[in-house]
Amino acid sequence: MNAPDGTADREPALAFFGAASAGLSHEINNVLAIINELAGLIGDVVAAAERADVRADGARLRAVLERVSAQIARGKEQVRLLNRFAHSVDGPTGGLDGSEVLSLAVALGQRAARLRKVALATVAAEAPLRLPGGAFEFLHLFHRSLGLALARAKPGSGVEVRVIEDAGEAVVRLEVAECAPTADAAWPALLAEAIEVAARHGARLDTVLEPGQPGHVSLRLPAAPGAGPAGEGGPRGTRGA
Amino acid sequence: MRVLIVDDEEELVRALVERLRLRGIAAEGVTSGREAIEAVGREAYDVAVVDVKMPGLGGLKVAEELRGRRPQLEVIFLTGHGSEEDAEEGRRLGAFDYVMKPVSIDALLRSVTAAAARGGKPG
């Protein structure tokens, strides 16, 4: 089935799952590409020594191996993120402790932020975050909110994520240090889609994004079932396996 | 033959530059499109190997800018997951070739050598 504009007409959530998975696969592919080059470099150094009939430069080889180890650690972290993201779909729903899911959401958003040349950071939560739905639904809502913030953030500036309580509601606030002078042509469609996704989940999106000014995107979540202080009982947001 | 490697993955740039230099090619690397544009304005590179997905200026835009500044420069795109749209856009911009990551150094070497030969600078 295609939409009138010819693009595949799919659930926005499915599109998000695809985009997030593709982003992680790109990162993992980059790690593999680097390990491939470093392994090749070790081979080059050894081959050059054999041709010259001398011992290979041990210090140089050790330095390259340390670079390989660093990439393996980076790759393991990407695979761990992929695992947690995959399990966000099949985990429990309702009344989740959102702090762990929020850290995953920010980690998943780093690539998009980097591509926009925007620094993305989390500020210590000022209020508990209980999720009304599942981890995946929250990740999707956060992704849409971040998309809005990044679309308007000035390259070179930053976005800080904080959780606050406002009128009894948990609010995930993405604070943009400085908005760009102009908005992308895609902005109206991006905003309309994000608002629609939020409404589907009973959430609300507010944006204050004026050119040249600090701004914010606020995601107001509906009350979670049995909401109490975060961290006291209740299922966890994501699991690893 | 002078080759410029452009990729935001600093470690990949460093490793490719080292490997090309071990093969006798004068290779240098930068980690952003902006740096690539400055480098090409400063030095007479024969071939630029440009990552398609980079922060800020993407690879396709960078290639267009580089060729605008130095029309004889041949561009080879580096891509993690090549899409048909990117390939078509690359051809439209006159890219010489596409190389997939992880890179086969022999394939890159063949492509770089052929690109330099087309630009009149055999390796």
- Collect all residues of chain A within an 8 Å Cβ-Cβ radius of residue B9: 30, 33-34
Residue A5 above 80 pLDDT? Answer: no
Q: How many angstroms separate the CA atoms of A27 and B21, rounded?
A: 26
Average pLDDT over residues A76-84: 97
Q: Which has the higher per-residue pLDDT, B53 or A35? A: A35
Token pair for A100: 């762990």
pLDDT at A231: 36
Instruction: State which H helix or E strand residue A16 sits in.
Output: helix A12-52
Whether residue B63 lies inside any domain: the answer is no
Which candidate, A87, A93, A91, A218, places its Cα nearest to that of A148? A218
Domain-located, residue B74:
yes
CB contacts, 8 Å: A33 with chain B: 9, 12, 80, 101-103
| Burial (0-12, 13-18, 19+ Cβ within 10 Å), B112 | buried
Q: For the ranges A57-66, A224-233, B33-42, B46-55, which has the lowest average pLDDT?
A: A224-233
Residue B54 has pLDDT above 60, yes or no: yes
Which tokens belong to A12? 């926005």
Query: How much of chain B, in percent, has pLDDT values that exceed 70?
Result: 92
Quick one: chain A helix, strand, coil %, rounded to 5?
A: 50, 15, 30
Predicted confidence at residue A42, as pLDDT, reads 97
Residue B20 lies in a domain: yes
Question: Taking a contact as any Cβ pair under 8 Å apart, which residues of chain B between 47 and 86 contact chain A?
Answer: 53-56, 80-81
* Chain B contact set for A45 (CB, 8 A): 22
Q: Sort residue A141 into left (φ over 0), alpha (ψ -120 to 50) or beta.
A: alpha
Enter the tokens of residue B123: 């390796």
Could B19 and A155 be called an inter-chain contact, meaning their C-beta atoms sit closer than 8 Å? no
In the predicted structure, residue A20 carries a pLDDT above the cut 60: yes
pLDDT at A236: 42
**Hunting for tokens 């790109």 — which residue is that?**
A26
B2 in any annotated domain = no
Residues of chain A with pLDDT > 70: what percent? 88
> Which one is predicted more confidently, A169 or A104?
A104
Q: Which of A103-112, A126-135, A226-235, B89-98 has the lowest mean pLDDT?
A: A226-235
Integer CA distances (angstroms), A142 to A173, A190, B88, in order: 10, 14, 33
From CA A23, how far away is CA A34, in angstroms rounded? 17
Number of C-alpha atoms within 13 angstroms, CB side, residue B59? 27
A residues 149..168 contacting B (CB < 8 A): 155
Which residue in B13, B16, B17, B18 has the most chain A C-beta atoms within 10 A of its own C-beta, making it the best mutation to test that interface? B18
Phi/psi for B101 (5° steps) reads -90, 145
Residue A1 has pLDDT above 70, yes or no: no
- Give mean pLDDT, residues A46-63: 94
Assess contact for A6 and A63: CB atoms under 8 A: no
Per-residue pLDDT, B81: 72
Residue-level pLDDT at A226: 60
Q: Which domain holds residue B98?
A: 7-42+51-58+68-118
Q: Which residues in chain B have Cβ-Cβ distances shorter than 8 Å to A29?
A: 80-81, 101-102
Tens digit of pLDDT for each residue in B59-106? Answer: 989 999 999 999 999 999 998 876 667 677 777 777 899 888 899 999
> Inter-chain contact A34–B15, Cβ cutoff 8 Å?
yes
pLDDT of residue B94: 78
Yes or no, beta carbons of B11 and A155 under 8 Å apart: no
Q: B101–A41: do the CB atoms touch at under 8 Å?
A: no
- Among B79, B101, B106, most A C-beta atoms within 10 A, so best to mutate, is B101
- Give the span between the Cα atoms of B44 and B1, in whole angstroms: 10
Nearest to A117 among B16, B56, B80 (CB): B56
Using 50, 70 and 90 to split pLDDT, how confident is the model at A233? very low
Tracing tokens 């399990």 back to the chain, one arrives at: A87
Average pLDDT over residues A86-105: 87
β-bridge partners, B3: B27, B47
Whether B114 is in a domain gets the answer yes
How many angstroms separate the first and last alpha carbons of chain A? 35
Contact indicator for B42, B18 with CB cutoff of 8 Å: no
Residue A26 forms contact with B (CB below 8 Å) = yes
Nearest to A23 by CA among A130, A150, A109: A109
Give CA–CA dist B35/B30, Å, rounded: 6
Q: pTM of the full predicted structure?
A: 0.83
Q: Is A38 on the interface with B (CB under 8 A)?
A: yes
Count of the separate structural domains present in chain B: 1
Rounded Cα distance, B67 and B73, in Å = 6
Tell me which residue has tokens 């992880």.
B102
Q: In this predicted model, which residue has the larger pLDDT, B119 or A90?
A: A90
CA distance, residue A162 to nearest chain B CA (Å): 25
Mean residue pLDDT across chain A: 88
The DSSP call for residue A211 is T
pLDDT at A225: 64
Sequence letter at residue A210:
E
> Percent of chain A, pLDDT > 90?
70
Q: Which H helix or E strand runs over A174?
A: strand A169-176
Smallest CA–CA separation between B119 and chain A, in Å?
27
- Polymer length in residues for chain A: 241
Where b means 16+ CB within 10 Å and e means fewer, B48-71 reads bbbbbbbbbbbbbebbbbbbeebe
Mutate to test the interface with B, among A34, A61, A74 (most CBs of B within 10 A): A34
Judge whether B107 lies within some domain.
yes
Q: Is the pLDDT of residue A170 over 90?
A: no
**For residue B117, which of B59, B46, B58, B66 has the smallest C-alpha distance?**
B46
- CATH code at position B100: 3.40.50.2300
Note whether B101 contacts A116, CB cutoff 8 Å: no
CB pairs under 8 A between A and B: 62
Q: Mean pLDDT, to the nearest integer, of A202-221? A: 95
Asked whether B47 and B76 are in contact (CB, 8 A), the reply is yes
Question: B102 vs A29: CB contact, 8 Å cut-off?
Answer: yes
